[in-house]
């Protein structure tokens, strides 16, 4: 599962498995990186089909596919 993932991406997956409704700002605070870094990690994880967004940007949740 973690092949080709950087440290930030691995941490994002870990936190999303615990709580799927975290915002990018909350993730950034937990991981101690910028919000932009989290947004890039989320985009990368979506492109790798590891996570998926269910619902709207405001009220949605992240689902870890694998």
**Every domain of the chain and the residues it spans:** 7-64
pTM beyond cutoff 0.85: yes
> What is the spatial distance between Cα 27 and Cα 17, in angstroms, rounded to a whole number?
12
* 17 Rama class: left (phi>0) / alpha (psi -120 to 50) / beta: alpha
Q: Where are the alpha helices (DSSP H) in the chain?
A: 7-18, 24-31, 35-47
> What is the spatial distance between Cα 8 and Cα 39, in angstroms, rounded to a whole number?
11
Average pLDDT along the chain, 66 residues, taken 10 residues at a time? 82 94 94 96 94 88 88
Q: Residue 41, class by beta-carbon neighbours within 10 Å (0-12 exposed, 13-18 middle, 19+ buried)?
A: buried
CATH class of 7-64: mainly alpha
Question: How high is the pLDDT of residue 3?
Answer: 66
């Amino acid at each position: 599962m973690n092949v080709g993932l950087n440290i930030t991406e691995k941490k994002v997956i870990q936190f999303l498995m615990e709580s799927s409704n975290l915002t990018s700002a909350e993730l950034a605070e937990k991981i101690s990186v910028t919000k932009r870094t989290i947004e890039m990690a989320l985009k990368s994880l979506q492109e790798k089909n590891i996570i998926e967004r269910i619902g709207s940007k405001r009220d949605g949740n992240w689902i870890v596919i694998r």
